[in-house]
Amino acid sequence: MSGGDTWVDIPRILGIPFTQPDKVHIKENTDPNWRHVLKLLDAMQMSFVKLSSEMDALTKEIQLYVDEQLAVVEDADSSSTTLNVDGTISAVPTIVPHFEINSEAMVYLSEIQDCIKLLSLRSQQVQRLYQSRDASLSSNSEGRAELQRQARALVHQAEEVYI
């Protein structure tokens, strides 16, 4: 989303054709495509924040399902008996429900959730940094500094994902 890119920077330096679309670096706020970059960053930020929120809700829902299934398995471990027609007592076989997602799978799901959260935070951070370079959004140093503070705060939020 930002930073240097070998596949763009080297062709620019050498004057050779690009192997992928050109990009607008954060310092190129006079580039004619700058306004498109801001629109793209806005769209990415909105999409990734929504995706992160949806993933959080899905993970919680799946965790509840796993917890319920584990409770069913624990309840099924208690022995049950039944009275047969001939008067004898026999054990009732326990039927344990089959489920694909278990507590071990939740570790992987949590990792995916963290990745999506980091992508969301990164998109917001890059958006704020680009906005801080845009004259129409941060015409004074106080506005620019505030956007940069917000970008740093997002980095600190991302640090919390790892803790």
User: Which residues is 26 bridged to in the sheet?
Assistant: none
- Quick: pLDDT tens for 138-158: 778 999 999 999 999 999 999
> What's the CA gap between 33 and 22, in Å, rounded?
10
Residue spans per domain, the chain: 34-162
What local confidence, expressed as pLDDT, does residue 103 receive? 73
Is the distance from CB of 129 to CB of 151 less than 8 angstroms? yes
Smallest CA-to-CA distance from 38 within 153, 123, 150, 157 is with 123
Where does the pLDDT of residue 117 fall: very low under 50, low under 70, confident under 90, or very high at 90 and above?
Answer: very high
- Quick: pLDDT tens for 82-94: 666 676 776 655 5
What local confidence, expressed as pLDDT, does residue 139 receive? 79
What local confidence, expressed as pLDDT, does residue 94 receive? 53
Position 32 pLDDT exceeds 90: yes
Where does the pLDDT of residue 111 fall: very low under 50, low under 70, confident under 90, or very high at 90 and above?
Answer: very high
| Pairing label, strands 81-83, 89-91 | antiparallel
Smallest CA-to-CA distance from 130 within 154, 143, 146, 147 is with 147
Average pLDDT, the chain: 84
Smallest CA-to-CA distance from 42 within 151, 145, 159, 123 is with 123
Element (H, E) at 137: none
